[in-house]
Amino acid sequence: MAELELFELELWGGVPLERYRALRPEIDDLPWGTLDPSSISEPALIAARKAWTGAAFQEFRTGAACAATLEALIKARAPLDLIALAARFPLDEMLHVEICSRIATELGGAIELIYDPEKLVWEVPSSSPLMTAAHWVVSNFCVGEALSIPLIQGTSRASTHPLIKQALRRIVVDEADHGTFGWHFLDWASPLLSTEDKRDLGHTADRFIRSVLERWQKLRDGELIEIHQAEALGWMGSEEYLELADHSLQRNVIAPLVKRGIPITPP
């Protein structure tokens, strides 16, 4: 096992920062400096700091997963327009990482998060270039990204603070392309995939869905208490959120996979 590391981030500054800001200037338009932690109750503040540190880490992992998927798409010689669209995703995710970490900072700072860098991305079975790419796309996009859009939208609706609301809206705008990418890929790849290939992809989707369900179960077992103020700050642990998550899994993930001939074992 690799040595565990503390999830800490920095901006380097100078020309790289200028070029990054020129590519994605939207971050400067968010109403930074408007959160006042002294007006928030201690339990709500802790729940929100945890939620935003966790969100930054999830965006970071998704960035790594998008980059791995991109490499697999290139190796599979997927259509150039599909590859080019996917090439934007890692940059989007880095912007989301920055947005989430800056919100955690405004709330009083990130909580300590230790992680294994070797396990940052999900493992997929290695196969032919096309099937390897398909395993990456199915897990990261058809399950992961397709599921995150309705959940971020739901959180954005529940949030009342302008910074939180606008930050989540910004993320949702980018995620729209991420959430549909998997379906475009499968619509292209489908005629090239055998029934057996689709069954294997179904197993990958099943495994990924199970890992998502385990994460939700932890939320259910943990602090499932109504902290209304925390919800307004983008905390994602309420019963309502988990109901939306279950519903979104059926509607946005399982149904479109099954429609494309990818069999899913009911979770």
Identify which of residues 59 and 206 has a Cβ nearer to Fe ion in the complex.
Answer: 59
Radius of gyration over alpha carbons of the chain, in Å? 19
Binding residues for Fe ion, total number by CB under 5 A = 6
Identify which of residues 185 and 200 has a Cβ nearer to Fe ion in the complex.
Answer: 185
Nearest approach in angstroms of CB 145 to Fe ion is 5
The span from the first CA to the last CA of the chain, in angstroms, equals: 30
Taking CB under 5 A as the criterion, the residue among 50, 135, 165, 178 binding Fe ion is 178
C-beta neighbour count of 17 within 10 angstroms: 11
H-type helices in the chain, by residue range?
14-23, 42-75, 80-87, 89-106, 129-137, 146-158, 162-189, 195-221, 228-232, 239-248, 255-259
Identify which of residues 47 and 100 has a Cβ nearer to Fe ion in the complex.
Answer: 100
Sketch the per residue contact string, 73 through 112, with Fe ion: x for CB under 5 A, - otherwise: --------------------x--x----------------
Nearest approach in angstroms of CB 58 to Fe ion is 8
Q: Is 206 in the site for Fe ion (CB under 5 A)?
A: no
Write out the two tokens for 107.
Answer: 């709330």
What residue ranges bind Fe ion (CB under 5 A)? 59, 93, 96, 145, 175, 178
